[in-house]
Structure 1
Amino acid sequence: MTANGARDIEAVLFDFSGTLFRLEEHPSWFDGICGADGTPVDGAAAAELMRRMTAPVGETVEFDEQTRHAWRHRDLDPALHRRAYLHVLEQSGVTDPAQAESVYGRVIDADCWTPYPDTEAVLKLLAAESIRIGILSNIAFDIRPAFTDRNLHEYVDEFVLSFEVGQVKPNPEIFRHAVAALGVDPSVTLMVGDSAEADGAAREIGCSFALVDPVPTAERPDALLAALSAFGIR
């Protein structure tokens, strides 16, 4: 037990989107992109568009049977992911196919994602304490470059990505896969994520859970460090 009574933690699993990194629009992404009524997509409209595409659970636009299937299974298959997100863009007013493809290209470009201010610090802290680190994400593209290009990959022991393992959160099997890959017991594993529904399901197999808010990176300077501190990791 740690000094504050929390269980000793031997491994930490982190969600990616809204937890370690956030997809934050850059004004240049929407240069020349307009909605169906010809209004430029910028400011609040761009922010709402990004919210719809990064919501971890639920449905953010109207779907028919085929597009709903694609949305619900988007993190298992890159082709379904593309179909689902292009539909979200179309339903959000980006009806020009070339413009929609341009925005979608940003979504799946790992280098377009912004790390939270304390992402590097928490990874270094855990590595220094010999606490194993896993990235557990519902995602349909390879996020490793986001870490490699910032020299953060050396701190990560395992990447468990839904489209590679064939399971998505909140299915308990993806958490079992992750702890097995790290070689630890769930009872000494902490899951950190921005969704109580998806990430919090780690508790079903015996992991601890810490919730962080997926607000813009500038508004969340140290939530990851605080989450670890609550479990005696400082």
Structure 2
Amino acid sequence: MASKSSALLVRGLCRSLKRLGTSSSNKIGGDPQPSFIVSGLTEMLGPARAATTLPVKSPLSLTRTAGQQSRRVSGSAQQAVGVQTDAALLDDDDYSFDYDYQRRAANGGLSHKALLVDAAGTLLIPSQPAAKVYREIGLKYGVTYSEEEILARYRWAYSQPWSQSRLRYVNDGRPFWQYIVEQATGCSDRRYFEELYLYYTTAEAWHVGDKEAGKVFAALRKAGVKLAVVSNFDTRLRPLMKDLNCDHWFDTLAVSAEVEAEKPNPTIFLHACEALGVKPEETVHVGDDRRNDIWGARDAGCDAWLWGSDVYSFRQVAERIGVEVEEEEPES
């Protein structure tokens, strides 16, 4: 953990010095120690070590040559933490790391105080493809469409505006799902719909996609990170998560049918933040839908990582936040 903090410290210093170097002066010398650097060092290393890391007459320097805009960092900033600075760190014009460095320094090394997680498609995965289930259960009710046809019709129906109410998922969501089933399969038999609907209420229909999820969430909570599920779902989600024995992983659930707001509406994200007692800017949301999860969370002021692109596992999510998760011990 110390080596990670040290590397983080140097990267932050390099970014900060680079930013200062863009002023009219071509050389910064003497005592380049703005308050945000000193406060960040004090938070991360403690007052005593921070004082020795950047003495008042620090030999730090940053130079720029006229043609190449090359930069050099020397002296105690590199030596005090015992790692080498990478020239690439100084040539990256993206200053986002400066903000991340300062935020981690203020949060005890964590990038965020809270994590919001999408349910279906991120935390929970269907045990079988929906089109296969629709067809297999539907055979006894006269459904003749192939899985490919059902999938295409399902996607079309799901993408259409829902005219019966402002929200698709109201209470148990039955009217909306009955419409989807009828459009996808061409079958309006009420018995067929009820069998399908009840199937997706059970743990048989779903599983937690990441086998390490419980362990990772426990490590996050131990580190002080607050957790919530933010999902476009009907009222079946709470009992479903209880049946899957994963409801206790989270401090709160923000379910669209209960909040009366659906992603990408920022309201549902703000509701979760308020329930956790955190600010949106202290929060990151992880989900698999670019529009609903990424754009929606960012509109609310949260950070957002796309599941399956920015992150691929909850262990990776934890590591990006700054929480280490113990490796599984190999079986003997």
Tell me the TM-score normalised to structure 2 length: 0.55
Unaligned ranges ≥5, structure 1: 53-58, 215-219
d(CA) in 2 for partners of 1:99, 1:61: 18
Alignment partner for residue 228 of structure 1, among 280, 301, 318?
318
Question: Could you tell me which residue of structure 1 aligns to residue 139 of structure 2?
Answer: 34
Alignment partner for residue 156 of structure 2, among 43, 60, 63?
60
Matched letter for residue 171 of structure 1? N
Alignment partner for residue 159 of structure 1, among 245, 253, 267?
253
Matched letter for residue 33 of structure 1? G
The Cα shift of 1:94 comes to 5.0
Q: Does the Cα contact within 8 Å between 1:33 and 1:94 map onto a contact in 2?
A: no
Change (3 A) 1:130 1:150: farther
SS at match of 1:69: coil
Question: Could you tell me which residue of structure 2 aligns to residue 203 of structure 1?
Answer: 298
Question: Could you tell me which residue of structure 2 aligns to residue 89 of structure 1?
Answer: 181
Q: Does the Cα contact within 8 Å between 1:136 and 1:160 map onto a contact in 2?
A: yes
Query: Could you tell me the percent identity over the aligned residues?
Result: 26
Q: Does the Cα contact within 8 Å between 1:9 and 1:190 map onto a contact in 2?
A: yes
The Cα shift of 1:227 comes to 3.0
d(CA) in 2 for partners of 1:199, 1:14: 9
Question: Could you tell me which residue of structure 1 aligns to residue 217 of structure 2?
Answer: 123
The Cα shift of 1:91 comes to 1.7
Change (3 A) 1:108 1:47: farther
Describe how 1:164-183 pairs up with structure 2 within 5 A.
164-183=258-277
Question: Could you tell me which residue of structure 2 aligns to residue 15 of structure 1?
Answer: 118
The Cα shift of 1:101 comes to 1.9
Matched letter for residue 276 of structure 2? L
d(CA) in 1 for partners of 2:267, 2:118: 16
The Cα shift of 1:21 comes to 0.3
Matched letter for residue 112 of structure 1? A
SS at match of 2:284: strand
State whether structure 2 residue 191 is matched by structure 1 residue 98: yes
The Cα shift of 1:20 comes to 0.4
Q: Does the Cα contact within 8 Å between 2:285 and 2:303 map onto a contact in 1?
A: yes
Q: Does the Cα contact within 8 Å between 1:25 and 1:46 map onto a contact in 2?
A: no
Q: Does the Cα contact within 8 Å between 1:14 and 1:135 map onto a contact in 2?
A: yes
d(CA) in 1 for partners of 2:183, 2:322: 45
Matched letter for residue 203 of structure 1? R
SS at match of 2:128: coil
d(CA) in 2 for partners of 1:32, 1:195: 28
State whether structure 2 residue 275 is matched by structure 1 residue 189: no
Question: Could you tell me which residue of structure 1 aligns to residue 77 of structure 2?
Answer: none
What value does the CA root-mean-square deviation take over the aligned residues? 3.5
SS at match of 1:168: coil
Question: Could you tell me which residue of structure 2 aligns to residue 56 of structure 1?
Answer: none
The Cα shift of 1:187 comes to 1.4
Specify which structure has the higher proportion of helix.
2
The Cα shift of 1:197 comes to 0.9
Matched letter for residue 278 of structure 2? V
The structure with the larger Rg is 2
d(CA) in 2 for partners of 1:71, 1:115: 31
State whether structure 2 residue 203 is matched by structure 1 residue 113: no
Count residues with an aligned counterpart: 215
SS at match of 2:168: coil
Change (3 A) 1:124 1:111: farther
The Cα shift of 1:198 comes to 0.9
Question: Could you tell me which residue of structure 2 aligns to residue 55 of structure 1?
Answer: none
Change (3 A) 1:69 1:130: same
Question: Could you tell me which residue of structure 2 aligns to residue 24 of structure 1?
Answer: 127
Matched letter for residue 60 of structure 1? W
d(CA) in 1 for partners of 2:177, 2:156: 11
Matched letter for residue 275 of structure 2? A
